[in-house]
Amino acid sequence: MRQTMRTTRQDAWTPEDDSILAEVVLRHIRDGSTQLAGFNEASRKLGRTAAACGFRWNACVRKQYRAGIELAKEERKRRKSQKVQEQMEVGDVDHPTATLMTWAQVLRFLRQEKNTAQQWASRWRAAERQAAQWKEKFETVDKEYQKIREEHDRLQRDYQTVLDDYRALVEIVERARKAAFLDNVDAMAGFTYRIDEFGNLERVATDAAFEQAE
């Protein structure tokens, strides 16, 4: 008897197999993995080879899940963008391309440095203004000092002049006193004393002295 009905192959793909294959591959797409990794995982679940899963996906399943594939790709982009944002904010030291500082940390550091630089610039300007004020005060005090010093020098010279005059006067008085004393002693000898124009004591012979000498 001729067999009119086709027999079903034992390794035929069922709708359930297709669903499992689609679920695994779409999950790998969403997670940013590769379809090959999805075929390898599906092969272990379905008891088939990765090549058979790949052939089934490309030949049949992919066409049925085009909308799901687009959604999975959008989800992958969203997750990737979110991960990058998190790495920028808090850093990912476990990532092989991670640096010691994230971009967000660099930005915060630069802003802090900018604020610090502005504060130091403000302090520097304030210090310059204060230095200019102190310089002006110093110049004013220095002028006053120069005036006082000149006045002091003048008074010093005047004092020395007065002192010299005083000493000369004392000497003159002393010589006058001696002259008066000698007048009393030498009057008998016909001599007298006088003070010349330079303040020196000079003995002068009287007319009686000249007569005795003759």
pLDDT digits (tens, 9 = 90+) for 41-51: 999 999 999 99
Residue 9, token pair as written in the block: 């192959």
Q: Which of 1-10, 120-129, 205-214 has the lowest mean pLDDT?
A: 1-10
* Residue 37, pLDDT score: 93
Helix (H) or strand (E) holding 165: helix 103-186
d(CA 52, CA 17): 12
* Residue 14, pLDDT score: 93
User: Do the strands 201-205 and 191-195 form a parallel or antiparallel pair, or are they unpaired?
Assistant: antiparallel
Residue 172, token pair as written in the block: 């003159």
Q: Which residue has the higher pLDDT, 94 or 126?
A: 126
d(CA 191, CA 200): 16
Q: Is there a contact between 41 and 29 (Cβ–Cβ < 8 Å)?
A: no
* Residue 160, pLDDT score: 93
Q: Is there a contact between 12 and 19 (Cβ–Cβ < 8 Å)?
A: no
* Residue 182, pLDDT score: 60
pTM recorded for the entire structure: 0.40
pLDDT per position as a tens digit, 56-69: 999 999 999 999 89
* Residue 2, pLDDT score: 35
d(CA 83, CA 141): 69
- Asked if pLDDT for residue 93 goes beyond 70, the answer is no
Q: Quick check: helix, strand or coil at residue 58?
A: helix
